Amino acid sequence: MNQPWKVIIVLLGIFVAGGVTGGFFTARVCQTKMLNRPVPEEWAPRTLKRLVERLSLTPAQQEEIRPIVRRHMEDLNRLRNRSMAETQTVVEGMQREISGRLTAEQREQYEQLNRELREAREAREKAEREKRLNLDRSLGEKPKEKPAEKPSGK
pLDDT at residue 52 in the model: 94
Confidence of residue 141 (pLDDT cuts 50, 70, 90): low
Confidence of residue 146 (pLDDT cuts 50, 70, 90): very low
Measured from the Cβ of residue 130, the count of other Cβ atoms closer than 10 Å reads 11
CA–CA distance, 57 with 52 (Å, rounded to integer): 5
Which residue, 74, 75, 52, is CA-closest to 64? Answer: 52
pTM for this entry: 0.52
Measured from the Cβ of residue 38, the count of other Cβ atoms closer than 10 Å reads 13
Residues 18-76 have pLDDT tens digits of 999 999 888 888 777 766 677 777 888 889 999 999 999 999 999 999 999 999 999 99
Task: Identify the burial level of 44 via C-beta atoms within 10 angstroms of its C-beta, where 0-12 means exposed, 13-18 middle and 19 or more buried.
Answer: buried
